[in-house]
């Protein structure tokens, strides 16, 4: 007897093992048709797996969130079958479901190109139409290896060889000819996949994610339960493209990049205004939170980087500069090569410890919060560079808190609170907090890690941010080698997430660089160092701000806050006066006195994403009024100049500055 408990609590008993398909058919013909898989005691299984023991079973259909992963995984298999049908001799490797879709990695002498995708996609649809049954088989391990070697699937043979011997070798047969090694589960047939999928791109990818191994060709696709979902996803992609910070940065004349300074940004006046506003804002928040701002050297002697440990571990990412006057002889070598080596700082921590070490620190000095908008250089691999998001010169909103062990929880809690205020001021309502736990390779004792991890947990709990609304999550193995860390991932206007903030404990650097304070007991003690950032780097964060707001910045951040537009040249003098008045009240204002129609001006400045248009014509000049038009709206608001000035000045105030 097998007793199956369904999600509604009802129990069905059978005198022999049944499959999910039998069960679905038993419940109703509609369900039998819609069934894709079963969830047995919470685990997804094939629909045709015989259930031999009493269990809780739910039938999974397309409506189920779990179905998406199945569909995507099947799409990957259908892709693989299509490719092998069209391009015999191509080896299959691995093809998982991923966020929003799937991919499959192939080994082929000629890599695939974008032009191959339509043909492959058409073949995939054909395979779906064929509705090939998908069946699981368990093979003998050695036979499987021999089989895959024989048919030339060397990657598959390698995979099987590396599977733990306790694992059964499960093979999924798709139709009568094609099969693939796979853990499963899968749909009962290719027809169940449906047609809401699309191949999106080709890319290179290393075998097993290892850059010393072969480069394979990866084909990416997206797959959904229905066309509507897919259409929504594609719309989101289009929206993301429209918001691309590189595009908006050019349209709004914020910055540019050029090959002569690869990976470093030329900030134009408007882009740098954005930066200055953000920096001013951050500085005020940090001042109020008890931080002390410092500025430290860009270049330090290699010896110092040796002492901090960076020279050994991080040198390949550092820009090294010889401390030497270049030769001025035409033909001679530029440098003799005898100079001492300096390096541009890739991070600020060692310099902060050096400041801490000046003079004798007492326990009364702690916690000491040292902040720097620190300009760092890292020689990132060329392929990693991306717009202003991943660059080689960047400025961190960095700070280090030197404190006693018993102050950690309080300091981390206060950091969480500060970060919350900053993100909300900058227009981000949602963010997730994650705790990255000890990695396999690490310094220190387990006891030390227990304590460190617990401190961070406790601080988040005290800050009241451990609930699901803050996406609390613990990530095993993701911590730095010297400490666990909290990560703060914010969600932007179109649902993408970005890790920005971080705080991590460090017991190692104070030790290496001999930072110490005198305790109440008169003895020398090691402070703990908390590395923390809220924005991460200004460059990247401004990129995120651009994409989040799609260039339509809140008034206080907008590079140009208002443009005064005239309707006829009779209003020119008055327009200048209006602009002067607004400027005198701290607003960033431009005028447009060109001999153009007001429609033209409104269009142009709207496209330029100026938040407020101040329109003045003969009427306004006579009554000393202004007509305000907000970006994104069509309404006009007629106000007296004085009132408009007051109102705009208040609205444009940097957050947190009124009280």
Partner RNA sequence: GCCGACGUAGCUCAGGGGUAGAGCAACUGAUUCGUAAUCAGUAGGUCCGCGGUUCAAUUCCGCGCGUCGGCACCA
Q: How far apart are CA 334 and CA 325, in angstroms?
A: 9
Answer yes or no whether residue 438 interacts with RNA by CB under 7 A. Answer: no
Residue of the chain from 11, 215, 360, 584 that contacts RNA (CB under 7 A):
215
Alpha helices in 317-401 (DSSP H): 349-357
Q: Nearest 5°: phi and psi at 6?
A: -90, 165
Number of residues this chain uses to bind RNA (CB under 7 A): 67
Cβ-based burial of 649 (10 A; exposed 0-12, middle 13-18, buried ≥19): middle
Query: Which span (190-198, 275-283, 299-307, 563-571) binds RNA, by CB under 7 A?
Result: 563-571
Q: How far apart are CA 97 and CA 93, in angstroms?
A: 14
CB of 570 to RNA, least distance (A): 7
CB of 469 to RNA, least distance (A): 27
Answer yes or no whether residue 246 interacts with RNA by CB under 7 A. Answer: yes
Residue of the chain from 177, 276, 603, 624 that contacts RNA (CB under 7 A):
603
Residues 586, 592, 593, 594, Cα dihedral to 10°: 160
Answer yes or no whether residue 35 interacts with RNA by CB under 7 A. Answer: no
Answer yes or no whether residue 632 interacts with RNA by CB under 7 A. Answer: yes
- Give whole-number Cα distances, 472 to 230, 431, 480, 508, in Å: 29, 10, 19, 27
CB of 337 to RNA, least distance (A): 22
Residue of the chain from 30, 151, 183, 481 that contacts RNA (CB under 7 A):
481
Q: How far apart are CA 181 and CA 587, in angstroms?
A: 65
Answer yes or no whether residue 440 interacts with RNA by CB under 7 A. Answer: no
The 111-130 contact track toward RNA, x by CB under 7 A, reads x-xx----------------
First and final CA of the chain: distance in angstroms?
Answer: 73
- Other C-beta atoms closer than 10 Å to the C-beta of 554 total 16
Answer yes or no whether residue 634 interacts with RNA by CB under 7 A. Answer: yes
Q: Which candidate, 589, 590, 587, 588, places its Cα nearest to that of 650?
A: 587
Sign of CA dihedral 328, 334, 340, 343: positive
Alpha helices in 321-445 (DSSP H): 349-357, 408-425
Q: How far apart are CA 479 and CA 292, in angstroms?
A: 28
Residue of the chain from 405, 511, 577, 596 that contacts RNA (CB under 7 A):
596
Answer yes or no whether residue 385 interacts with RNA by CB under 7 A. Answer: yes
CB of 323 to RNA, least distance (A): 23
Answer yes or no whether residue 362 interacts with RNA by CB under 7 A. Answer: no
Answer yes or no whether residue 547 interacts with RNA by CB under 7 A. Answer: no
CB of 607 to RNA, least distance (A): 5
Q: Specify whether the CB–CB gap between 412 and 459 falls below 8 A.
A: yes
Answer yes or no whether residue 640 interacts with RNA by CB under 7 A. Answer: no
Q: How far apart are CA 296 and CA 348, in angstroms?
A: 8
Q: Among residues 55 and 100, whose Cβ is nearest to RNA?
A: 100
Q: Among residues 77 and 345, whose Cβ is nearest to RNA?
A: 345
Active site residues: 349, 378, 396, 398, 400, 485, 531
* Cis-peptide into 433, omega within 30 deg: no
Q: Specify whether the CB–CB gap between 220 and 198 falls below 8 A.
A: no
Answer yes or no whether residue 457 interacts with RNA by CB under 7 A. Answer: no
Residue of the chain from 228, 583, 597, 650 that contacts RNA (CB under 7 A):
597
- Chain centroid offset of residue 112 CA: 28
Residue of the chain from 158, 239, 324, 380 that contacts RNA (CB under 7 A):
380
CB of 609 to RNA, least distance (A): 9
The 79-108 contact track toward RNA, x by CB under 7 A, reads ------------------------------
Residue 521 in 3-state DSSP? coil
Q: Among residues 139 and 206, whose Cβ is nearest to RNA?
A: 206
Answer yes or no whether residue 528 interacts with RNA by CB under 7 A. Answer: no
- Give whole-number Cα distances, 73 to 31, 79, 189, 213, 478, in Å: 22, 10, 13, 25, 26
Query: Which span (52-60, 178-186, 325-333, 607-615) binds RNA, by CB under 7 A?
Result: 607-615
Residue of the chain from 627, 641, 648, 652 that contacts RNA (CB under 7 A):
627
**Contact residues for RNA, defined by CB under 7 A:** 111, 113-114, 201-206, 209-211, 215, 217-218, 246, 250, 257, 259, 262-263, 310, 313-314, 346-347, 349, 380-387, 390, 480-482, 531, 567-570, 595-600, 602-603, 606-607, 613, 615-620, 627, 629, 631-632, 634, 636
């Amino acid at each position: 007897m097998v007793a199956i408990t369904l999600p509604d609590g009802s129990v069905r008993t059978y005198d022999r093992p049944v499959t999910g398909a039998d069960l679905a058919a038993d419940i109703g013909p509609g369900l039998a048709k819609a069934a894709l898989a079963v969830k047995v005691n919470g685990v997804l299984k094939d629909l045709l797996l015989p259930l031999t023991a009493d269990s809780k079973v739910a039938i999974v259909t397309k409506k189920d969130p779990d179905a998406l992963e199945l569909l995507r995984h099947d799409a990957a298999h259908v892709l693989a079958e299509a490719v092998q049908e069209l391009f015999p001799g191509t080896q299959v490797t691995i093809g998982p479901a991923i966020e929003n879709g799937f991919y499959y990695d192939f080994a082929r002498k000629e890599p695939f190109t974008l032009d191959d995708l339509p043909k492959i996609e058409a073949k995939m649809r054909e395979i779906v139409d064929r509705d090939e049954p998908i069946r699981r088989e368990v093979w003998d391990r050695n036979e499987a290896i021999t089989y895959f070697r024989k048919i030339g699937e060397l990657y598959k043979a390698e995979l099987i060889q590396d599977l733990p011997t306790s694992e059964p070798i499960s093979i999924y047969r798709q139709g009568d000819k094609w099969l693939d090694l796979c853990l499963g589960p899968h749909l009962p047939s290719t027809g169940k996949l449906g047609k809401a999928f699309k191949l999106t791109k080709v890319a290179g990818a290393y075998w097993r994610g290892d850059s010393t191994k072969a480069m394979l060709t990866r084909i990416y696709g997206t797959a959904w339960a229905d066309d509507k979902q897919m259409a929504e996803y594609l719309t989101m992609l289009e929206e993301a493209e429209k918001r691309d910070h590189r595009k908006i940065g050019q349209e709004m004349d914020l910055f540019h990049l050029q090959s002569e300074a690869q990976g470093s940004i030329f900030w134009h006046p408007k882009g740098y205004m954005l930066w200055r506003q953000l920096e001013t804002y951050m500085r005020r928040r940090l001042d109020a939170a008890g931080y002390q701002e410092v500025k430290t050297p860009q270049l330090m002697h290699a010896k110092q980087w040796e002492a901090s440990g960076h020279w050994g571990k991080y040198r390949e990412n550092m820009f090294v500069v010889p401390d030497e006057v270049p030769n001025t002889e035409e033909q001679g070598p530029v440098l003799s090569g005898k100079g001492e080596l300096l390096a541009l700082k890739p991070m600020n921590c060692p310099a902060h410890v050096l400041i801490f070490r000046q003079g004798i620190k007492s326990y009364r000095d702690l916690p000491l919060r040292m902040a720097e908008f620190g300009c760092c250089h890292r020689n990132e691999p060329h392929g990693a560079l991306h717009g202003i998001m991943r660059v080689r010169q960047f400025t961190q909103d960095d700070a280090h808190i030197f404190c006693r062990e018993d102050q950690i929880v309080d300091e981390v809690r206060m950091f969480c609170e500060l970060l919350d205020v900053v993100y909300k001021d900058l227009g981000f309502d949602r963010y997730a907090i994650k705790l990255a736990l000890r990695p396999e390779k690490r310094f220190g004792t387990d006891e030390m890690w227990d304590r460190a991890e617990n401190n961070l947990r406790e601080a988040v709990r005290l800050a009241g941010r451990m609930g699901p609304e803050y996406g609390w999550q613990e990530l095993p193995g993701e911590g730095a080698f010297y400490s666990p860390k909290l990560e703060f991932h914010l969600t932007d206007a179109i649902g993408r997430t970005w890790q920005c903030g971080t705080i991590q404990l460090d017991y190692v650097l104070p030790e290496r660089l001999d930072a110490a304070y005198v305790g109440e007991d008169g003895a020398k003690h090691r402070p703990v160092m908390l590395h923390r950032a809220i924005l991460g780097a200004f460059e990247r964060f401004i990129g995120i701000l651009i994409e989040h707001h799609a260039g339509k910045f809140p008034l206080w951040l907008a590079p140009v806050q208002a443009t005064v537009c005239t309707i006829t040249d009779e209003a020119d003098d008055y327009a200048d006066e209006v602009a002067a008045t607004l400027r005198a009240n701290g607003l960033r204002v431009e005028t447009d006195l060109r001999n153009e129609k007001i429609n033209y001006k409104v269009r142009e400045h709207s496209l330029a994403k100026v938040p407020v248009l101040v329109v003045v014509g003969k009427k306004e000049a006579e009554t000393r009024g202004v007509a305000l038009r907000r970006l994104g709206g069509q309404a006009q608001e007629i106000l007296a100049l004085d009132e408009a000035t007051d109102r705009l000045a208040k609205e444009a105030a940097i957050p947190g500055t009124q009280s």
